[in-house]
């Protein structure tokens, strides 16, 4: 297993994000990304999820609306312990030289310090977390 730190740079190619900071949170089960203008629409007779994954200030942030045909709703407990329904997408993630499919919920993280949170589900059986380090995954990037 590869060792990563408490904060890592990840890429989400389908969202147009390359090497953006994410906080590793072993207390969270699912991963999450800050999104705004989240809505469903009917396009070409099919329901799609439309949103903006917001990381203003990052060089790869375009502000473009993203459209996902494959999505679902999931009940999750937020950081305050309250249950809420969030949209969940599956997208490719790149971390520590590994590429894999990851489930990510969309939520309003505007009041949080980190726009992306990595939960246990994607870490399990892939990575060990050294909480004393940051950006340890760079050693594995090609």
Q: Which two tokens stand for residue 78?
A: 């937020």
How far is CA 73 from each of CA 43, 49, 116, 125, rounded to the nearest angstrom?
A: 19, 11, 19, 25
Give the dihedral of Cα atoms 67, 76, 9, 60; nearest 10 deg. 30
- Nearest to 28, CA basis, from 124, 100, 93, 127: 124
Pairing, β 7-12 against β 66-68? unpaired
Query: Phi, psi (5° rounding) for residue 120?
Result: -60, -35
Q: What number of other Cβ atoms are within 10 A of residue 10's Cβ?
A: 22
For the stretch 14-42, pLDDT in tens is 998 889 999 999 999 999 999 989 999 99
Give the H or E element holding residue 110: none
The domain ranges of the chain are 2-139
- Is the domain covering 2-139 a CATH 3.40.50.300 domain? no
For the stretch 37-92, pLDDT in tens is 999 999 999 999 999 887 666 665 667 889 999 999 999 887 778 888 999 999 99
Which SS3 state, helix, strand or coil, does residue 124 take? coil
Instruction: Note if the pTM is more than 0.95.
Output: no
């Amino acid at each position: 297993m590869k060792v990563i730190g408490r904060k890592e740079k990840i890429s989400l190619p389908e969202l147009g994000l390359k090497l953006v900071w994410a906080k590793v949170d072993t207390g969270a089960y699912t991963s999450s990304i800050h999104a705004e203008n989240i809505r469903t629409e009917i396009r070409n007779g099919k329901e799609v999820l439309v949103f903006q994954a917001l990381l203003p200030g990052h060089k790869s942030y375009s502000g473009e609306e993203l459209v996902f045909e494959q999505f679902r709703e999931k009940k999750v407990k937020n950081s305050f312990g309250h249950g809420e329904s969030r949209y969940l997408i599956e997208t490719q993630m790149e971390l520590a030289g590994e590429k894999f499919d990851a489930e990510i919920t969309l939520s309003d993280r505007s009041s949080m310090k980190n726009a992306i949170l990595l939960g246990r589900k994607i870490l399990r059986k892939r990575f060990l977390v050294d909480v004393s380090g940051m950006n340890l995954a760079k050693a594995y990037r090609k």
